[in-house]
């Protein structure tokens, strides 16, 4: 039963990609000030401290039904906790050509950047001090001969994600460690009008307390881009890989994911930009004897419209991701992801985000959306009910919104506040067995509010 509750809690946190990232870390202007110059490198250390409240860290159900395993009647009520978050960060990168005395305009032979951040969470309620944890990320990228006809990119990263379990036992929490590596060869003839990339991505996922769910993924990638105007491009993306689990079950099977997308990005008018991409995706679930086939094979893609409030926010080129200051973006995304239940889930998400810097002093951002997440039918994998239906195919609806505001006292110092709402609404529960009627309720609601200060050189 405790594992069933734990898996449900883990799934509830799969979708928000930036669940543990503080907003100022996404903004280079906030996380990197004048820095410290040392030789041909510059260093940017920083630290942020926040105090706040988390209304439902364990993502428990508010239901009072006696059959709900992760609810109040079974000794697992919704618990709100006061939290202290401390986030040190640092980045190290090469200087630009003019800073190291090179001839202005000469392309560098290479560019190197390493950045890292960790978030320590201390729960200020003595009864829950055992929930303290550290999440974080470390990234390293090396660009070889950028702006040259032949070049390459090598990268590596580490991401530690801490997910609680509804049982409250930290020894059963899903603490996930992702180690990623990537490399690309880049060919850009015609002064960058055309660009061809071929590469490899590797991902190794290790769980602190759930080794049977460890994953290894190897993916080959290819990309072609035609820049037909200074800020407009057509592109073709393709990726094919293999994903394997340490232990395969009826609900976690090896995959061979394929994605092929054709798209365009750039500016329609001086202030309106678009990103349109569509194609085909297949999860390639590897079925075997006694396994019910379950797979995703359908249309995938993304459509996004951006409005830039001022000229300073315009992207430098069509390759920009549009994550500029003073921009409003609205979009729709359809994709699939590996899952610990049913092997794979599909996701359709509508989203919007807006950022604005007011007179260089007050930075505001708001982003959110609604995701529809569809899972395959599930079976029991062990015990007397093994092989029997545990839940028919079901869907979750996931709304979320995050608002951030910061008053910048200087280029290095800022006072900020963060508000976040997220919830999950499901039309199915996860049965414990076929006879008792007990189940895990996948419905939950969570509010988070933090205020703090950050300092970055």
Q: What is the pLDDT of residue 19?
A: 42
Q: Which residue in this structure is represented by tokens 């679930």?
A: 285
The closest alpha carbon to 344, from 58, 11, 108, 24, belongs to 11
> Are the beta carbons of 237 and 261 closer than 8 angstroms?
yes
Radius of gyration for the alpha carbons in the chain, expressed in angstroms and rounded: 23
d(CA 427, CA 399): 15
- H-helix or E-strand containing 171? none
d(CA 259, CA 269): 30
Pairing of strands 444-456, 81-94: unpaired
Phi/psi at 12 (5° precision): -65, -20
Phi/psi at 279 (5° precision): 180, -145
Per the document, the length of the chain is 457
- H-helix or E-strand containing 3? helix 2-12
DSSP one-letter string for 135-187: EEEEEEEEEESTTSSEEEEEEEEEEEEEE--TT--GGGSEEEEEEEEEEEEEE
Range list of H helices, 147-209:
none
* CA atoms in the 13 A half-sphere facing the CB of 35: 21
Sequence-distant (≥ 6) Cβ neighbours of residue 382 within 8 angstroms:
none
d(CA 292, CA 244): 18
- Sign of the Cα torsion 340, 343, 348, 353 reads positive
Q: Which residue in this structure is represented by tokens 């410290």?
A: 36
Query: What token pair was written down for 201?
Result: 């991505």
- Domains identified in the chain, total number: 1
- H-helix or E-strand containing 55? none
pLDDT tens digits, one per residue of 376-397: 888 777 677 777 888 888 899 9
> Are the beta carbons of 374 and 402 closer than 8 angstroms?
no
> Are the beta carbons of 199 and 184 closer than 8 angstroms?
yes
pTM listed for this prediction = 0.88
CATH number of 174's domain: 2.40.170
Q: What is the pLDDT of residue 54?
A: 96
DSSP one-letter string for 379-405: E--SSTTTTSEEE-SEEEEEEEEEEEE
Q: Which residue in this structure is represented by tokens 């729960």?
A: 123
End-to-end C-alpha distance for the chain, whole angstroms: 49
Residue 210, helix vs strand vs coil: coil
Low-confidence ranges of the chain (pLDDT < 70): 1-21, 28-31, 96-106, 249-251, 287-294, 311-324, 382
Q: How many CB atoms lie within 10 A of CB 323?
A: 14
Exposed, middle or buried by CB within 10 Å (0-12, 13-18, 19+), for 447? middle
Residue 311, helix vs strand vs coil: helix
| Residue 356 lies in domain | 2-456
């Amino acid at each position: 039963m405790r594992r069933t509750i734990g898996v449900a809690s883990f799934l509830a946190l799969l979708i928000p990609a930036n669940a543990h990232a503080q907003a100022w870390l996404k903004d280079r202007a906030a996380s990197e000030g004048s820095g410290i110059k040392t030789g041909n490198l510059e260093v940017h250390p920083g630290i942020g401290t926040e105090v706040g409240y988390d209304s439902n860290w364990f993502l428990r159900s508010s239901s009072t039904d006696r059959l709900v395993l992760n609810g109040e009647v079974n000794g697992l009520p919704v618990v709100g906790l006061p939290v202290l978050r401390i986030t040190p960060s640092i980045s190290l990168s090469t200087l630009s050509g003019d800073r190291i005395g090179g001839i202005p305009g000469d392309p560098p032979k290479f560019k190197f950047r390493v950045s890292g951040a960790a978030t320590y969470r201390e729960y200020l309620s003595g009864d829950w001090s055992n929930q303290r944890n550290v999440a974080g990320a470390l990234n390293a990228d090396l660009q070889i001969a950028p702006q040259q006809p032949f070049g390459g990119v090598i990268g590596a990263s580490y991401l530690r994600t801490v997910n609680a379990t509804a049982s409250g036992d930290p020894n059963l929490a899903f603490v996930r460690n992702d180690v990623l590596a990537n490399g690309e060869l880049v060919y850009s003839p015609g002064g960058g009008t055309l660009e061809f990339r071929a590469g490899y991505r590797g991902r190794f996922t290790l769980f602190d307390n759930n080794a049977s769910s460890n994953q290894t993924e190897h993916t080959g990638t290819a990309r072609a881009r035609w820049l037909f105007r200074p800020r407009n491009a057509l592109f073709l993306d393709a990726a094919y890989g293999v994903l394997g689990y340490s232990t395969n079950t009826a609900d976690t099977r090896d995959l061979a994911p394929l994605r092929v997308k054709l798209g365009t990005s750039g500016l329609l008018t001086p202030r309106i930009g678009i990103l349109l991409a569509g194609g085909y995706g297949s999860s390639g679930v590897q079925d075997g004897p006694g396994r019910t086939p379950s797979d995703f094979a359908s249309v995938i893609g993304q459509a996004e419209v951006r409005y830039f409030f001022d000229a300073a926010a315009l992207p430098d080129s069509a390759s920009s991701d549009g994550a500029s200051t003073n921009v409003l973006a609205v979009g729709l995304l359809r994709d699939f992801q590996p899952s610990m239940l049913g092997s794979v889930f599909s996701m359709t998400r509508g989203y919007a985000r807006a950022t604005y810097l007011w007179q260089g002093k007050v930075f505001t951002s708001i982003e959110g959306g609604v995701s529809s997440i569809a899972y395959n039918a599930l079976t029991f994998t062990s015990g007397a009910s093994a092989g029997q239906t545990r839940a028919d195919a079901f869907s979750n609806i996931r709304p979320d919104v995050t608002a951030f505001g910061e008053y910048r006292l200087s280029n290095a110092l800022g006072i900020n506040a963060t508000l976040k709402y997220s919830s999950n609404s499901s039309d199915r529960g996860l049965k414990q067995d076929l006879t008792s009627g007990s189940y895990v309720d996948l419905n939950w609601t969570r509010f988070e509010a933090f205020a703090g200060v950050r300092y970055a050189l």
